[in-house]
Amino acid sequence: MKKILIIALMLTGTLTFAQNKNAKASMEVDGICGMCKARIEKACLNTKGVKFATWSVETHELKLIFDERKTNTEIIKNQVLAAGHDVKDEKATDEAYAQVHACCKYRDEAVIDDHEPQGR
């Protein structure tokens, strides 16, 4: 009996695990500079349930840790899009993109060239 109880307890443990308080996810987000980084991370962190967000200027990878009971990647993705940044499979609306600072127009070739390290 005891054993069954223990197993049952352990299983409930695994079940609640599915609703992870610290779920991890990563997605590709387009952007170009440190200002973009702050904008993207802020958009994520302003979503209720997101605990940790870090976006890499080099790899364009956005790493997230969030509470699965409160939010999910779809919601966070929409926040990023609303902030004007494209994600891998979806583009931000033109209105949202229009809001990003002129120097952060990551879709613009001239802006991309500007941010290339010198000497290349």
Partner 1 sequence: MKQKIYILLLFPIIAFSQNSISGVVLEANEHNQNIGLAGANVYWLNTEVGTVTDIDGNFTLSYKAEYKKLVISYVGFKTDTLTINTPKKIKHWLQPTDNLDAVTVKSRKQTTVKSYFKATNVINVSSEELLKAACCNLSESFETNPSIDVNFADAITGTRQIKMLGLTSPYILIATENIPSIRGASQAYGLSFIPGTWVESIQITKGAGSVVNGFESIAGQINTEIVKPSTDDKLFVNLYGASSERLELNTHINTKVNNKWHTGLYIHGNMHNKKHDVNDDGFLDMPLFNQINVMNRWQYTDTEKGFVSFINFKFLNDEKQTGQLDFNPDTDKLTTNNWGSEIDTQRFEISTKFGYVNPEIPWQSLGVQTAFSSHKQESYFGLNVYDIKHNSLYANAIYNSIISDSRHKIKTGISYTYDHYDEKIDAGNLDSDFERTENSVGAFFEYSFDNLELFNLTAGVRLDHHNLLGTFITPRVHARYSPWSKSAFRASFGRGKRSANIFTENQQLFSTSRQINILNSGGNIYGLDPEIAWNYGVSYLQGFNLFGRKADITFDYYKTDFTNQVVVDWENSQEINFYNLDGKSFANSFQVEFNYNAFEGFDLRTAYKFYDVKTDYNSGRFERPLTPKHRLFANLGYETQIKEHGARWKFDTTFNWLSSQRYASTTNNPSEFQLPERTPTVATLNAQITKVFSSKFEVYLGGENITNLRQPNPILEADNPFGANFDSTFVYGPIFGNLYYAGLRYRIK
Instruction: Give the binding site for partner 1 (CB under 8 A).
Output: 2-3, 6-7, 10, 22, 24-26, 38, 41-42, 45, 50-54, 56, 59, 61, 63, 65, 117-120
CB atoms within 10 A of CB 80: 28
Give the separation between CA 14 and CA 40, rounded to whole angstroms.
Answer: 33
CB-nearer residue toward partner 1: 17 or 94: 17
CB of 90 to partner 1, least distance (A): 19
Q: Nearest to residue 83, comparing CAs of 100, 59, 60?
A: 100
CB of 65 to partner 1, least distance (A): 7
Sign of the four-CA dihedral 48, 54, 60, 64: negative
CB-nearer residue toward partner 1: 71 or 94: 71
Burial class (CB in 10 A: 0-12, 13-18, 19+), 63: middle
CB of 47 to partner 1, least distance (A): 9
CB-nearer residue toward partner 1: 15 or 94: 15
